[in-house]
Amino acid sequence: MTALLAALALLAVPPADVIYTDGDILTMTEGKDAPQALAVRNGRIAAVGTKADVMKLRGPGTRVVSLGKRTLLPAFIDPHSHFLAAVAIDNWANVSEPPVGPVRSIPDILAALRTQAAKQKAKPGDWIIGYGYDATGLAEKRDVNRHDLDAVFPSNPVMLLHVSGHGAVFDSKGLSALGIGPDTVTPLGGVIVREPGSNQPAGLLMENAFIVLEPKLPLPKPEDLAGSLAAGQMRYFSQGYTVATEGATPPAAIPAMREAARRGMLTIDVMALPLIQSASEVLEKPGSGFGQMIDHVKIAGLKAVIDGSPQGRTGYFTKPYLVPGPMGQSSWRGEPSVTQKQLSDGLRAAISGGGQLFAHANGDAAIDMVIKAQEDAGLDAKVDARTVLVHSQFARDDQLDAYARLGIIPSFFTNHTYYWGDEYPVLLGAERTQRISPAASAAARKIAFTNHTDFLVTPLDAIFTVFSAVNRVSKSGKVVGPEERIPPMLALRALTVEAARQYREEGERGTLEVGKVADLVILSANPVKVPPAQIRDVKVLETVKNGRTVYAAPAAR
* pLDDT, tens digit, 9 for 90 and up, residues 306-346: 999 999 999 999 999 999 999 999 999 999 999 999 999 99
Tell me how far apart the alpha carbons of residues 52 and 12 are, in angstroms, rounded to a whole number. Answer: 18
Confidence of residue 88 (pLDDT cuts 50, 70, 90): confident
Predicted local confidence at residue 215, as pLDDT = 82
Confidence of residue 433 (pLDDT cuts 50, 70, 90): very high
Q: Edge-to-edge strands of the sheet including 24-25?
A: 24-25, 71-74, 520-523, 540-545, 548-552
pLDDT at 68 over 80: yes
Predicted local confidence at residue 11, as pLDDT = 52
Predicted local confidence at residue 283, as pLDDT = 73
Residue in 365, 319, 320 with CA at minimum distance from that of residue 338? 365
Q: Phi-psi region for residue 296, left (φ > 0), alpha (ψ -120 to 50) or beta? A: left
| H runs (alpha helix) in 415-503 | 415-419, 424-428, 430-434, 439-444, 462-471, 488-493, 497-502
| H runs (alpha helix) in 163-213 | 172-177, 208-211
CB atoms under 10 Å from CB of 284, counted, come to 9
pLDDT at 7 over 50: no
Confidence of residue 288 (pLDDT cuts 50, 70, 90): low
The pTM (predicted TM-score) of the whole model is 0.93
* pLDDT, tens digit, 9 for 90 and up, residues 404-427: 999 999 999 999 999 999 999 999
pLDDT at 3 over 50: no
Residue in 95, 243, 164 with CA at minimum distance from that of residue 415? 164
Tell me how far apart the alpha carbons of residues 153 and 144 are, in angstroms, rounded to a whole number. Answer: 14
Tell me how far apart the alpha carbons of residues 100 and 420 are, in angstroms, rounded to a whole number. Answer: 13
Tell me how far apart the alpha carbons of residues 183 and 199 are, in angstroms, rounded to a whole number. Answer: 7
Helix, strand, coil % over all residues of the chain, rounded to 5: 35, 20, 45
Higher-confidence position of 8 and 468 = 468
pLDDT at 2 over 50: no
Predicted local confidence at residue 224, as pLDDT = 67
- Which stretch of 21-35, 150-164, 188-202, 218-232 has the lowest confidence by average pLDDT? 218-232
Give me the domains of the chain, ranges plus CATH numbers.
Answer: 2-68 (2.30.40.10), 83-216 (3.10.310.70)
* pLDDT, tens digit, 9 for 90 and up, residues 128-152: 999 999 999 899 999 999 999 999 9
3-class secondary-structure state, position 362? coil
Average pLDDT of the chain to the nearest whole number: 93
Please state whether beta strands 520-523 and 71-74 pair in parallel, antiparallel, or not at all (unpaired). Answer: antiparallel
Per-residue burial over 107-124, b = 16 or more CB atoms within 10 Å of its CB, e = otherwise: ebbbbbbeebbeeeebee
AA identity, residue 236: Y
Confidence of residue 67 (pLDDT cuts 50, 70, 90): very high
* pLDDT, tens digit, 9 for 90 and up, residues 262-275: 988 999 999 999 99
pLDDT at 226 over 70: no
Predicted local confidence at residue 223, as pLDDT = 65
Peptide bond into 456 cis (omega under 30): yes
Q: Are 25 and 37 in contact (CB under 8 A)?
A: yes
AA identity, residue 229: L
**DSSP secondary structure code for residue 14 in this structure:** P
Tell me how far apart the alpha carbons of residues 240 and 112 are, in angstroms, rounded to a whole number. Answer: 29
Higher-confidence position of 280 and 464 = 464
Tell me how far apart the alpha carbons of residues 311 and 234 are, in angstroms, rounded to a whole number. Answer: 29
Residues 6+ away with beta carbon under 8 Å from 307: 314, 315, 316, 334, 335, 336, 337, 360, 361, 362, 363, 365, 366
